[in-house]
Amino acid sequence: MTLGITGGMGCGKSTAAGFFERRGFRRLDSDRLVRDHVLTSAEVLAALKERFGDTIFGVDGAVHRPALAARVFSDDRERIWLEELTHPLVFALWRHALAAEPHLQWVLEVPLLFEQALENWFDFTVCVACAPAQQLARLEQRGLPRELAGQRISKQLPLAQKIDRSDFVLWNEGSPEFLQAEVDRLIDTLPVAT
């Protein structure tokens, strides 16, 4: 079984995915794949340098993700270019992992699951959601100014549409223990879940 977890920024996708992992699911975090594999590949680094020069690189030569984010979230053309560069590489990493261990139960964190029409990759889709005020508060607690948080949220499908299009919804406004109980209940209702 393969589950795709989506939701808005700051809604708790990673926390929920961690609870699935504790219950025996193998976890793939798309953002981590980008950070650890895609943005470190020679092919991507060369393309980024050609497109942006040195403006998005730190003194160590690595991609400075906040600088890159500032560029792409303020210009839709740059964001779309970056997605077209990086998403096929992420999908290739998914395919490799899933093919290597097809017997496992998988949970994949996919922020842009519906935006990229990836529903068919998964047996079920799960949206982690919370109220907009809670979402913004969490992002501010992470150090993202409210204006930038709003800018990034606006580049994603509205949360209400993600909720409508998902097979299951986990509402995450309570304690971590409450979210864990929601995840446990969902797992216990899934076919072939252990």
Residue 192 has a pLDDT of 63
Instruction: Quickly name the fold that domain 1-25+106-186 has.
Output: Rossmann fold (3.40.50)
User: Given pLDDT bands bounded at 50, 70 and 90, which one contains residue 153?
Assistant: confident
**pLDDT (tens digit, 9 = 90+) per residue, 37-48?**
999 999 999 999
How many CA atoms lie less than 13 Å away from 98 in the CB half-sphere? 18
Do residues 78 and 71 make contact, with C-beta atoms less than 8 angstroms apart?
A: yes
Q: Which residues does 12 contact at the CB level (< 8 Å), separation at least 6?
A: 128, 130, 138, 170, 172, 179
Residue 194 has a pLDDT of 45
> Three-state SS string across 61-97, please?
CCECHHHHHHHHHCCHHHHHHHHHHHHHHHHHHHHHH
Cβ neighbours, 10 Å, residue 154: 9
Question: For the chain, which residues make up each domain, given as ranges?
Answer: 1-25+106-186, 31-104
**End-to-end Cα distance, the chain:** 11
Do residues 2 and 108 make contact, with C-beta atoms less than 8 angstroms apart?
A: yes
- What mean pLDDT is predicted for residues 81-85? 95
**pLDDT (tens digit, 9 = 90+) per residue, 124-138?**
999 999 988 888 888
Give pTM, 2 decimals: 0.87
Residue 54 has a pLDDT of 93
Percent of the chain with pLDDT over 70: 98
- What mean pLDDT is predicted for residues 76-92? 95
Distances in Å between the alpha carbon of 133 and those of 145, 162, 171, 173?
Answer: 14, 17, 14, 10
The phi, psi pair for 7, rounded to 5°, reads 145, 180
**pLDDT (tens digit, 9 = 90+) per residue, 96-145?**
999 999 999 999 999 989 999 999 999 999 999 998 888 888 888 888 77
Rounded Cα–Cα distance for residues 182 and 73 (Å)? 33
Is residue 193 over pLDDT 50?
no
Is residue 164 over pLDDT 90?
yes
